[in-house]
Structure 1
Amino acid sequence: MDLGLEGVHVLITGASGGIGLETAELFHNQGAIVTAHYHSSYAPLKRFEGLSAKRQAIKADLTKEQEVIALFKSAQSTYGPVQILVINHAISVVEDADLWEMSLDRWQNTINTNLTSSFLVAREYLRNLKIASEDLKEKAAIVLIGSTAGKYGEAGHADYAASKSAMMYGLTMSLKNEIVKLAPRGRVNCIGPGWVRTPMATESLKNPNVAYAALATTPLKKIAEPRDIATQIVLLSSNKVSGHVTGQVLMVEGGMEGRLLNKPKDVGIEL
């Protein structure tokens, strides 16, 4: 299906693995020009970058304002202004920590890495969009990647849940009203994945307790693959098929109904 993305310049943050890399591949298959951002892991992008002249990988620490500015300058110097932005990067600390045990350093690092960096990236995109030509503005779109943790919370990971919730609701809903001041047809949406079989999640899912909690309230009884999320990102980015969709948070989580709080034994039931 032609999504009208031929020649459109897309920047994807956190594109070196999992959802980001799959998204980069799908955009490229649609004829888009892809700038794939990475922070430390270039190896997965080496082959991707080398397959076509319409692909490039750029390193940046997105928590640093000047590196974000340099990222956009570098992307634009090769392929022109970025028209579609996918904010996909994030961290999540593996160790559980209830709020009363969580250090201020952990809280601030998660918020800074996930939320403040997203502000910096979105701001720089919009600043460049402001001075772009009118024809380039026609394809303007931002897709942010949230999480089921942002909708339901996640005990032991309030830092991550808070960062994602802020992106999904406060930031997305504000930006969809602001982008049209610069690009009248510009759109901003968010996708909230549940568990996805990325390399990092696969390791966690080896724990049967984690696997059970991930599926206990999920009607489809399966873990998403990166392509399940990437497909929705590309569709939401396309003005041709999603041109009247903005300010939406699309949950891609197999029908999850919330967080499992108690196992049978916790409520005195023997099965």
Structure 2
Amino acid sequence: MASLPLLKGQKALVTGANSGIGRATAIALGRVGADVVVNYVTGREAADEVVREIEGFGVRAYAHEADVSQEDQVCAMFARMAEEFGTIDVLVANAGLQRDAPSTDMTLDQWKKVLDVNLAGQFLCAREAAREFRRRGVVPEVSASAGKIICMSSVHQVIPWSGHVNYAASKGGVLMMMATLAQELAPHRIRVNAVAPGAIRTPINRSAWETPEAEEELLRLIPYRRVGDPEDIANAVAVLASDLMDYVVGSTLYVDGGMTLFPGFATGG
């Protein structure tokens, strides 16, 4: 993405920002002018590398360790951001994980861990961001809205995924959580939306694309015939967070190469 001042002077927080989609998103927001908090739960060195790359754009950044499923840690993270940056303008609730197993083998701990991070973690971050947005209101010289919340969902908010019932349930929950938050917060000029990635080259799904055979099998599900890169998602987030998309409220932007077009029916089923 070219360097454009889409978010100049704005303050952003990206959760799970030391690798994969979160890393690319934090860097993209810095490139378009935002100061960025790089949240991580493990991997401080990687988070510090992201911070250094963002600072190379002439903006501010720092890394903050916090488990988004823990309320006290989320509150402390937002409190520190208020001290360091004064406020928040953009939240990208990206942190997520998988704990895969067939449903008959899945433990309650596996179920709870995924729901706690992927769904409850997004809620806690969104709640804290919304509180600050409502307190501060619209600052016209910064943004047309009082704040932006972007929930990182997945094509699996609508596509069932055998062997991943906890993950699919968490992302289905993100869909309705996002829409309900959008409905509730829109009168306060707070924009809540989601980005739903398809198959992206990240460490979490390396086995699905790292060999030519695996990639060819994956491409059967992607009409556009390429696996996505983290930057595809990051660029979408950067534009969605900007005033170019000010009238977009309560929407999910699918960035999936057409995966949600039911490619199995392309020849009539």
Which residue of 255, 258, 266 maps to 2:258? Answer: 255
Consecutive unaligned residues of structure 2, counting only runs of 5 or more, are: 265-269
Q: What amino acid maps onto 2:247 in structure 1?
A: H
Equivalent position of 2:73 in the other structure: 67
Q: Is 208-217 or 37-46 further displaced after alignment?
A: 208-217
**Matches of 2:208 and 2:218, distance apart in 1:** 11
Deviations 1:64-121 (A, max 9, x none): 111000000111101111111001110012x4x2222222221111111111111111
Residues 78-227 of structure 1: pairs in structure 2 closer than 5 A: 78-93=84-99, 95=100, 97-135=101-139, 138-168=145-175, 170-181=176-187, 183-184=188-189, 186-206=190-210, 210-227=214-231
Q: 2:158 aligns to what SS in structure 1?
A: helix
Which residue of 236, 242, 248 maps to 2:240? Answer: 236
TM-superposed deviation, 1:23: 1.0
Which residue of 24, 34, 37 maps to 2:36? Answer: 34
Q: Per the alignment, do residues 104 and 48 of structure 1 end up closer, same or farther by CA in structure 2, a change over 3 Å counting?
A: closer
Does structure 1 retain, via aligned residues, the 8 Å contact 2:134–2:146? Answer: no
Q: Per the alignment, do residues 171 and 49 of structure 1 end up closer, same or farther by CA in structure 2, a change over 3 Å counting?
A: same
**Matches of 2:50 and 2:215, distance apart in 1:** 31
Does structure 2 retain, via aligned residues, the 8 Å contact 1:189–1:249? Answer: yes
**Matches of 1:50 and 1:203, distance apart in 2:** 29
Deviations 1:222-265 (A, max 9, x none): 110110110000110002x10111111111111113487xxxxx
Equivalent position of 1:19 in the other structure: 21
Does structure 2 retain, via aligned residues, the 8 Å contact 1:16–1:36? Answer: yes
Q: What amino acid maps onto 1:48 in structure 2?
A: V
Q: What amino acid maps onto 2:31 in structure 1?
A: N
Q: Per the alignment, do residues 50 and 209 of structure 1 end up closer, same or farther by CA in structure 2, a change over 3 Å counting?
A: closer
Deviations 1:128-154 (A, max 9, x none): 222125316735111111111221011
Structure 2 length-normalised TM:
0.88
Q: Per the alignment, do residues 213 and 179 of structure 1 end up closer, same or farther by CA in structure 2, a change over 3 Å counting?
A: farther
Q: What amino acid maps onto 1:255 in structure 2?
A: G
Equivalent position of 1:263 in the other structure: none
Does structure 1 retain, via aligned residues, the 8 Å contact 2:207–2:214? Answer: no
Q: Per the alignment, do residues 246 and 165 of structure 1 end up closer, same or farther by CA in structure 2, a change over 3 Å counting?
A: same
Structure 1 length-normalised TM:
0.87
Q: Which structure has the bigger radius of gyration?
A: 1
Does structure 2 retain, via aligned residues, the 8 Å contact 1:36–1:58? Answer: yes
Q: 1:47 aligns to what SS in structure 2?
A: helix
Q: What amino acid maps onto 1:252 in structure 2?
A: V
TM-superposed deviation, 1:188: 1.0
**Matches of 1:160 and 1:125, distance apart in 2:** 24
TM-superposed deviation, 1:212: 4.2
CA RMSD of aligned residues (A): 2.1
Does structure 2 retain, via aligned residues, the 8 Å contact 1:179–1:187? Answer: yes
Count of aligned positions: 255
Q: 1:99 aligns to what SS in structure 2?
A: coil
